[in-house]
Chain A
Amino acid sequence: MNLNLSINNIPNLSEIERKHRQQSLDNFLVSGFPNKKLEDWKFTDFNQIISTQFSELSNKEGEDNEIEKKISLVKQFQHNYIILVNGKINKINLDFEEKDKILIKNYQNEYKEKFEIKNSLNVLNEALFTNGYYLEVAENYKVKKPLIIYSYIASNSKNNIFNTRNFVKLNKNSNLELIEFTNINVEDSFVKNENEVTYLEQNSVLKKYVLQSKQNKAYIYKNLKNFLQKDANCQNFILNISSIFSKIEIESFLSGKNSNFEIYSASNLKQDQHQELRSFIHHEALNCRSYQKVKKVLNNESKGIYQGKILVSDSAQKTDAYQLSKAIILDPQAEFDAKPELEIYADDVKCSHGSSSGNIDENSIHYLMTRGISEKEAKKIIISGFLNEVFEPITNGEIKNFLEMNLNDQN
């Protein structure tokens, strides 16, 4: 594979920045993409996947003058929105909110120290990141309507690698419902290397929904870091990422007492889709809770992976941590790998995990068929139900309906 990566494609760099980025790029070029020899990548040989799929990769971005025509907004419910093209802010609309309570701008190296460098994709991101957004909600402000972040990709993106960075900060006592809605309507194969940091101050609440609109040939790596202060609450719903390849890593630090972090994920994988979800939850304070529920349906030759690690430090007494993964495997060629890890240094904690995989329950199919429903339809209903169950904790009915429709459309 020919790597055509250069910091010269990035405008307006200071001399120090240029030097630092060049150093990072050199480091990346020495190590290359992560491969399966690394424990974190044992089920996903990224280097091999990328080398076989791409003959070249470049970080030179093209323009798309037609992009405005491709944008379509969600009509089912009122919302604020940001439109991103290649990760860069194209439009902001906060009509439903008070002025000066939400700050949204292009990301520019704020909180750089929070973007920890752990693997060579992080190094590459450090070298080449260009676009991204910075989002901050003011203290005590409850955002009235959900904020949808529409993410589009320009049409001439073949063999591109995008490196983006986002930063989200919820100040004390603020609330936000954030929907990250990716619409990849280009046929091209490209790579997206996305890093994101979310900072939840005391008693703030973030409900985040990540979804995609349709099947696409993108190769997506996403690294999310969350820092939770006292009484902060963060719910994450990750639904039907329909890219041909995706690996989402979520690392969360429950550093303030009584903080709560939840992940709910549902996906229906088809053809040779490869999808990994990896979580790493650090319980660092008293009386924190984490909850993870991951459901996957695997068709054809798809591969689904869930690796979940929970680390409870000795200061994190009264921790309540739970993780569950369930898979329905519909074809003998499909594969599901689950690897739960618990590392506990406190003695007064409740930690548990569960994992199951198998076929659709025959008795359930029979029951539905005795009501006049065809076998095909019965299976569809059971699979939708299996996946829809992760929506149960969603309290906003409009969002719930929208997500269910989106998921069912793709099944």
Chain B
Amino acid sequence: MLKIKNLKASVEKKQILKGLNLEIKAGEVHAIMGPNGSGKSTLANVLSGKKGYDIEGEILFDGFKLDQLPVEERAQKGIFLAFQYPVEIPGVNTNVFLRTALNSIRKSKGEKELDTLSYLKLVKEKSTELGIEEKFLSRQLNVGFSGGEKKKNEILQMKLLQPKLSILDETDSGLDIDALKIVAEGVNSYKNKTNAFLIITHYQRLLEYIKPDYIHVLSKGKIVKTGGADLGIQLEKTGYKNF
């Protein structure tokens, strides 16, 4: 599904990713762990298409050259980034935003746009699973949301937009244990053989609830070690000092 070959990314002439290789297949869950400043969030930003990065190397997603696609087309082709810091957008009703996003993606696939009633039915079903109250959806997008509410809202968007590859950038940060469980359940219930996950995290904590198939250690812009789920437990004990 995703093939990254020798990816280098710089911001203002400072190289952050220094030749990263990664392959993710449908049905797999990959985790990327690493110390602060290792380039974890840069990888997420680059995959989402954020402006401001100079990029070398190749990123293939379902055979498309990803770095040549505008941001919205990446989303339409099935890439979803759950933000570490979801952006607050004043005055924009959450429901209106969700419906616009959903319909933009449906339209790009040649599907019919959802009318208000079908949308409301769908969003109710998905938000109930995440324990999100209805009135929450009529609030301004992310404005005044708690950390947990913001992250739940990201997962709700994932479940609505049904991406092939979901990138979760530090989704566990700022979550208490109950919210963490809900978010993890949201991910687990969405997981299937046709989609894949890239979980970016600093701590092992989230990986206790979402079992990864592979854990990669990112250090100084490169993947320096790859292992199974037990690598996370090991890192929890030893820290990143060896990398």
| A interface residue numbers (CB < 8 A to B) | 361-364, 366-375, 377-378, 381-382, 384-389
Residues of A within 8 A of B89 (CB): 364, 367-368, 381-382, 385
Residues of B within 8 A of A378 (CB): 72
CA distance in complex: A371, B79 (Å): 9
Q: Is B117 an interface residue (CB 8 A)?
A: no
Residues of B within 8 A of A370 (CB): 48-49, 71-72, 74-75, 80-81, 83
Q: Quick check: A373 and B100 within 8 Å, CB to CB?
A: yes
Q: Would you give the shortest CB distance from A261 to chain B, in whole angstroms?
A: 23
Residues of B within 8 A of A373 (CB): 72, 75, 100-101, 104
Q: Would you give the shortest CB distance from B189 to chain A, in whole angstroms?
A: 21
CA distance in complex: A372, B71 (Å): 8
Q: Quick check: A367 and B101 within 8 Å, CB to CB?
A: no
Stretch at the interface among B2-10, B90-98, B234-242: B90-98
Q: Is B76 an interface residue (CB 8 A)?
A: yes
What are 8 A-B interface contacts by the 8 Å CB criterion?
A364-B87, A367-B89, A373-B75, A375-B71, A381-B92, A381-B97, A384-B91, A385-B90
9 tightest Cβ-Cβ pairs between the two chains A and B: A385-B91, A389-B91, A385-B92, A371-B101, A369-B71, A372-B75, A367-B87, A372-B105, A372-B104
Q: Is B157 an interface residue (CB 8 A)?
A: yes
Q: Would you give the shortest CB distance from B152 to chain A, in whole angstroms?
A: 16
Residues of B within 8 A of A363 (CB): 87
CA distance in complex: A103, B131 (Å): 53
Residues of B within 8 A of A388 (CB): 91-92
Q: Would you give the shortest CB distance from A327 to chain B, in whole angstroms?
A: 14
CA distance in complex: A389, B90 (Å): 7
Q: Would you give the shortest CB distance from A274 to chain B, in whole angstroms?
A: 25
Question: Which of chain A's residues has its CB closest to B85's CB?
Answer: A363
**Of residues B71, B80, B91, which shows the largest number of chain A Cβ atoms within 10 Å of its Cβ?**
B91
Q: Quick check: B83 and A367 within 8 Å, CB to CB?
A: yes
Bitwise interface map of B from 42 to 73 toward A, beta carbon under 8 Å scored 1, else 0: 00000011110000000000000000001110
CA distance in complex: A318, B86 (Å): 39
Residues of B within 8 A of A377 (CB): 100, 104
Q: Quick check: A386 and B91 within 8 Å, CB to CB?
A: yes
Q: Is B140 an interface residue (CB 8 A)?
A: yes
Bitwise interface map of B from 129 to 141 toward A, beta carbon under 8 Å scored 1, else 0: 0000000000011
Contact of B104 among A366, A371, A382 (CB under 8 A): A371
Q: A363-B87, A364-B89 are in contact. Are A369 and B97 (CB under 8 A)?
A: no
Q: Would you give the shortest CB distance from B93 to chain A, in whole angstroms?
A: 8
**Of residues A362, A367, A386, which shows the largest number of chain B Cβ atoms within 10 Å of its Cβ?**
A367
CA distance in complex: A382, B96 (Å): 12
Q: Would you give the shortest CB distance from B81 to chain A, in whole angstroms?
A: 5
Q: Is B146 an interface residue (CB 8 A)?
A: no
Q: Quick check: A366 and B90 within 8 Å, CB to CB?
A: no
CA distance in complex: A25, B91 (Å): 47
Contact of B72 among A369, A385, A387, A389 (CB under 8 A): A369
CA distance in complex: A373, B97 (Å): 9
Residues of A within 8 A of B51 (CB): 362, 366
Question: Which of chain A's residues has its CB closest to B105's CB?
Answer: A372
